[in-house]
Amino acid sequence: MIIRRYLARRVHQSIGLVLLTLLALFAFFDLVGDIEDVGKGAFRLVHAFASVALMLPSRLPELLPVSMLIGTIFALSQVAQSSEFTAMRAAGLKPSKVLVWLILCALPWASLGLVASEYLGPVAMREAQALRLLTGEALIDSSSRNGNLGSGLWIRDLIRNEAGDLRSQRFVNIRSAESDGRLSDVEIVEFDEQRRIQRWLLAKSGRVSASPGLDLAEVREIRWQPQPLSQTYPTLRWEGGVDQTLIAMAAGRPERMSIAELWRFVRYLKSNQQASERYELAFWKKIAAPASAIAMLLMALPFAYLQPRNGALGARILAGVLIGVVFHLTGSLLGNIALIRQWPAPLITMIPTILLLGLSLLSLYWVNRSEAMWPQRPWLRSKAA
């Protein structure tokens, strides 16, 4: 019990230290990017610091697996270098028991990552968007740096009858949207079941209402069915399946969305016959994240059984960093290939974790073989004594 608490304390302290270091490093990079916006509109340096702070909960799930790997390697390597681990092994500490202890150590960190991903991150991101709104930045902007084609946000809305057959479809284009629901330059094109255009709405402004739909202002309506007609309205209520949550999800990055939001948006995209692979991949990555974090921590176990002469502490930490980088790059590469080849997202997201767990089990097998030879190496027992 004393040994378990001692090792757990060392592991938790090291993971916390590494996690804080990585969060500070990435916060600095984010701050450098936000400083470019200081002076634009009402955005000031204090807003840049606040925006970076609100981004940290979203960063935490991304950095946690690598932090767990590096922190555990650091803790176990320190214990091994001071010969404490050798004494523990001489006292009968088995690798299987250490494995169970590490899994117990991983559970609270994996839970923290899940809470940050599901609750803290999305709430903080909404606050960051509200801060950007107060300083004059739009949630969606056709002239922004988000890599779009300058056409804003497109949403497809399908209308079906009671039998489930397609009755009509609408395409909604929003050039600019604010976090409080205000819209600018809205176009809505409606088609019938034979894909013939029925109505075209152009509005200079609008607002997302409490119920699904849009309240448009300064609207021009052009109809082709049953006869050509053009009219203007000061205001017009458009009934549809578009709400503020849907707009925010469509405009946001999948990695910043919660599991529930991703699940809802994937269902929406599939019901409207739109590509959902990118969001499905993000959904299953979040599902696999706790297992990935635990696999990362278990990968550190063999480093405790390396004797000090077999590698310095810095070399072991470097090996942990390389393992984390390879794991991240493998996941990103497989994800991009899956999007291109349309491979099943659940399988692709689990491949890096399965490979890492397999490598951990092989390492554990090597450790068990080494422990089986322990009685044949009396010089180690005498050193521990």
Whether residues 235 and 280 share a domain: the answer is no
- Among 217, 251, 285, residue at a domain's last position: 251
Whether residues 164 and 241 share a domain: the answer is yes
| Cα–Cα dist 24/59, whole Å | 10
Whether residues 128 and 166 share a domain: the answer is no
Confidence category of residue 191, pLDDT binned at 50, 70, 90: confident
**For residue 247, is it within any domain?**
yes
pLDDT for position 145? 40
3-state secondary structure of 194: coil
| Cα–Cα dist 370/352, whole Å | 27
What number is the average pLDDT over the span 109-121? 88
pLDDT over 70 (residue 122): yes
**For residue 257, is it within any domain?**
no
pLDDT for position 372? 58
| Cα–Cα dist 382/193, whole Å | 84
pLDDT for position 108? 92
pLDDT over 50 (residue 154): yes
Query: How many domains is the chain partitioned into structurally?
Result: 2
Of the candidates 334, 252, 320, the residue with the CA atom closest to the CA atom of residue 285 = 334
pLDDT in tens, 294-343: 888 888 887 777 665 555 677 777 877 888 788 888 888 888 888 888 88
pLDDT in tens, 330-382: 888 888 888 888 888 888 888 888 888 888 788 777 766 765 554 544 444 44
pLDDT for position 28? 93
Confidence category of residue 273, pLDDT binned at 50, 70, 90: confident
| Cα–Cα dist 249/252, whole Å | 5
Mean pLDDT for the chain?
79
pLDDT in tens, 221-266: 988 777 788 889 999 988 877 777 677 676 667 777 888 888 888 8
Whether residues 8 and 86 share a domain: the answer is yes
pLDDT over 60 (residue 205): yes
3-state secondary structure of 229: strand
pTM score? 0.69
Whether residues 11 and 116 share a domain: the answer is yes
**What is the enclosing helix (H) or strand (E) of 365?**
helix 345-372
Owning domain of residue 158: 153-251
pLDDT in tens, 5-25: 888 899 999 999 999 999 999
pLDDT for position 149? 40
Whether residues 28 and 98 share a domain: the answer is yes
Whether residues 79 and 41 share a domain: the answer is yes
What number is the average pLDDT over the span 89-113? 83
**For residue 262, is it within any domain?**
no
Whether residues 19 and 71 share a domain: the answer is yes
